[in-house]
Structure 1
Amino acid sequence: MPPAAPAYLRLVRTSGWYDLIVTAGFATPWTYALLHHLLSAGGDAVGLGTMPALTPMQTLYANLMGSVVVVWSVLRVVRPLPLHGLLDGTARALFSLWQAYALAHGGPAVLWPFLVLEAAFGLAQLAPWAGVRAATVRGAGQGS
């Protein structure tokens, strides 16, 4: 599937909706406090552990991340472009690395489902670009 294909643009839009739904709760101190409680209770209920105690700095970083991701999500929902998929896939690769890092250093196991979805969306959005790169390299070689 080439990045300009309608199916790819639907994937970009779908990843935007997923991010909007999942991160909207991180965007304000009040919604983050509720989400933190729900994630902690849910993680505890299914044996994935609880979230660390809520602190003002943790809330600040959650709000900063949530605000940026909400804006980025709305852009992809309203106007999905191939470039948005490439950039989002790249960001998801970075987010996946940092989630894996947190898990490797004692982070709560409640991160695992998010890591799986982050990596899956990232791979799905980056894979078509590998084909573009290969075609560009083949085309450049034929012109010599």
Structure 2
Amino acid sequence: MNLRPALRIVRISALYDLVVTAGFALPFTAPALFASLGNLHETLGLHGVVPDPHNVMTVMFANLMGGLVLAWSVFRLVRPSLAAGVADSGGRSLFALGMGAALIGGATPIVVVMMALEIGWAVVQAVAVVAAWRRTRIAHSVAVA
């Protein structure tokens, strides 16, 4: 894979993160998202625990994580790189690990969908970045020789 398509994937994953996490970054939008998640959970008749929209610590940690993900997303949109793609794939893997632990601990099964998206993006981005890095490295080796 060439460099340009790999960087496009880094940007698209950043845009996805921006859209999906923007609501968690602010103290007045995160509780509304948690309440919506709770409503979906109840409508589907699922077992497990959902975030409490009235718990200030839950909202604070969602705001901290949302703000960090927003900043990271903007960085990847403005300055995409193979290194950012590798770091993001690693971060997504850690997020998926945390989601898996939450599921084991009794979180709502809705988390499975979120975890699958994280794993999917981690794999797609990692494959694209590694392929571009290898191709760039081979092209550089040929040019030097």
**TM-score of the pair, normalised by structure 1:** 0.83
- Contact 2:85 2:126 (8 Å CA) reproduced: yes
Match of 1:140 in 2: none
Determine whether 1:96 maps to 2:96: yes
Query: How many Å separate the matches in 2 of 1:79 and 1:48?
Result: 41
1:78 offset after TM fit, Å?
2.1
Which residue is equivalent to 1:114? 114
What is the percent sequence identity of the aligned residues? Answer: 37
**Is 2:20 the counterpart of 1:7?**
no
Cα offset, 1:47, TM superposition: 3.6
Unaligned runs of 5+ in 2: 138-145
CA shift at 1:128, angstroms? 4.1
Change (3 A) 1:47 1:12: farther
Report the Cα distance in structure 2 between the residues aligned to 1:48 and 1:16, rounded to whole angstroms: 30
Q: CA deviation at 1:129?
A: 5.1
- Give the aligned partner of residue 27 of structure 1: 25
| Residue number in structure 2 paired with 1:40 | 38
CA distance in 1, matches of 2:57, 2:38: 18
- Taking the aligned partners of 2:42 and 2:58, their CA distance within structure 1 comes to 20
Q: Distance in 2 between the 1:43 and 1:99 partners?
A: 16
Q: Deviations over 1:50-74 (max 9, x none)?
A: 6232311111110000000001111
Q: Distance in 2 between matches of 1:20 and 1:113?
A: 18
Other structure's SS at 1:42 match: helix
Matched letter for residue 29 of structure 2? T
Would you say how many aligned residue pairs link Structure 1 and Structure 2? Answer: 135
Partner amino acid, structure 2, of 1:85: G
RMSD of Structure 2 on Structure 1 (CA): 2.3
Q: CA deviation at 1:79?
A: 2.2
What's the offset of the Cα at 1:105? 1.2
